[in-house]
Structure formats: structure tokens, C-alpha cells
Structure 1
């Protein structure tokens, strides 16, 4: 049985919303760690970056248009410091479920992040996350793992995906008892 569930789809189709809905289903029933990402918007509604929010409430900046002297993806500067100091420590191998939203180009600029993702995937713990649809060598390597179930999110199935993953995770965890 596969123990790692990764949602993939084009940007803007609802991957993070699906992860948040899964977390809401699982919170209080299982020990969860990890993080989600959300857009940062200015007063006019224009996206200016992305923030990291850990399951236990810590926040940081993943990327921002005003971030200088950092690796860049398009117009965004990537904040390696917050990835390393907030996102990476939130991936707790002592929890039942590790949430990683997202495994993408920005996050993979951090060598610590890549190392922690592989530790989580290799551990007996369940990983539920999102992963970039089209990626580089690291992303392709993760997607091709035998213990990863890739879930293609579409507008038609996006409301059912959190329940589906929750059922699979619950079944897996009950079989471990």
C-alpha cells in the first residue's frame, strides 16, 4: 500500500485548498506536522508573493517580489532563510502525517528542504502534499517513487480529493496499529 499522497495539477486549480481541507479532516484525529503555502496579495489584490504557514501556526515568507539578492523564479525572490528556519523544522518525523505544500521549484532551492522531504518520504510516516506538475530531476524522482500515489486534481474532482486522501490515510494508519 502506498503511504505518500501527492496532489498534482496546474497552478491555480486548488491544490492548497485541497490540502487545507484534508488538514481540517485529520486535525484532532492524528498528529499532524508540516506546512501549507498561501498567496500574499497587496491592497489592490495583486499577488506579491507566497507565505509559509506551519500546521502549528508559525509563519514566514516563501517568496516575494521585493526580495533581493536571492534565487529567483520569475518575478519572485525566494526566501531560503524562512524555508530553512520555518518550513523544514515543521516537517516532524514524530507525527503520524506530514503535510508538505508544496514540493516545487522555489522550495527546492533549499538543500535542507530537499533532504528533509526525502527523509519524510523514506520514513514510515505518511506524507500528504502537493507537487509541481512539471518539474526538474528532483521533482520527477519524487513523482516516480513506488511508495508515492500521484493524485491528479481537476475542477471535477477537487472537492472529493480531501475525503479520498483522508480515507486512504485512515486505512493505512489503522493497518499499522
Structure 2
């Protein structure tokens, strides 16, 4: 499904990319959110989590670290309150992504383990994001594939730029890709909440 920004009411128009199993079975899973940086994808997932307080949520969010208004890095945090610095300009070791170095060990300890716990304990999986920094972790790649194969509803933000692993995920026939824009993000959040509640029978 692609939610288009055109039109005052930001109505949803369906454009299904391959067969979506939940349409036949009533089980929703594997929604991939794309969009330009800064449109509010993380804010959208946070709003979705707040709107379903009774659900057990696994996964993680990624937030910018800013100092004096300048972006210096990124922090990963789980829905049970754990957090760690994922990447920072001050790091002197780790894989290089742009001007940042990635702390893969910290990401795996907090973000990847949070997703792994969610696979066994949560009702819903929210992942922000399947991006170049996170994909420095082979464990994360493995867990993304396990999450996609899981019957649990998964909503994940994913990088828009070409990347072998991300492109492989986007090409899967068992999910939907949705485009997030500044104009449609609130309507999209409402739609996701409705879908998730229906999938959970709430």
C-alpha cells in the first residue's frame, strides 16, 4: 500500500506490491515504511506504540543525537526503556557510515536483543530502522529475516536508497511498502493503529 500525499484529506489508495497474505487470512504482517529523512517515520512509530498501550511491543527506535543543533550521532532505544549510542562522530572505531562510526556491539546489546526478545515475548514488532548503520550487524540481518517470517505483525522503517539486503527485503511478496510524507504521516499512523488493533483482535 502506498499512502499518497496528494489531496486535502490524504486518503489512502491501495497499491499492493505482490500478494499480501494478511488480505486472505486476516493476519497482518510485514509493513515497510519508506520516506525521506526528517519526514517523521520515527515519530510515526512512536505514536503507533502509544496508541496501543495494552500491546506488548518488541523492537527499537532510532533517535538523532544533537549538540547545539548539530546532528552528532544516533541513539537506539527499546520500548522497555533501554538505550545505547548507535553511532557518533566522536567514535574512533567501528564501521564508517558517512561521518559516523557505528558501535555494533552496543547496537546488538540493546537494539538487536530487544528485537530478539520481542520475537518470543511481544505482540507486535516495531523496527526503526532497517538502515545502513543497523545493517553493519550480521545478527540484525538474521533477526530481520526471522521477524519477516514470524506470524507477528511487523512494522519497520527501511532505507530508500539501494542496498543489497534492503532491496531483498523490499522484493519479498509477503508484505507491503508504504511511503511516508509530512502530509500523510498522521493519517498513516491512524491506519496502522487500526490495522494492528484488528490483527490483535482489539
TM-score, L = length of structure 2 = 0.82
> For residue 143 of structure 1, what is the aligned residue in structure 2?
170
Q: CA RMSD in A?
A: 1.3
- 1:7-86 correspondence runs (5 A): 7-28=33-54, 30-42=55-67, 44-86=68-110
Return 165-174 or 100-109, whichever deviates more.
165-174
How many residue pairs get aligned? The number is 173
SS in 2 for 1:125: coil
> For residue 11 of structure 2, what is the aligned residue in structure 1?
none
Structure 2: which 5+ runs fail to align?
1-21, 23-27
> For residue 87 of structure 1, what is the aligned residue in structure 2?
111
Structure 1: which 5+ runs fail to align?
none
Once the two structures are TM-superposed, the CA of residue 172 in structure 1 deviates from its matched residue by 2.1
SS in 2 for 1:53: strand
Q: Where do 4+ consecutive residues of structure 1 move more than 3 Å?
A: none
Tell me, in whole angstroms, the C-alpha distance in 2 between the residues paired with 1:148 and 1:109.
Answer: 24
Does the CA contact (< 8 Å) of 1:34 and 1:90 recur in 2?
yes
Which has the larger share of strand? 1
When Rg is computed on C-alpha atoms for both structures, the one with the higher figure is: 2
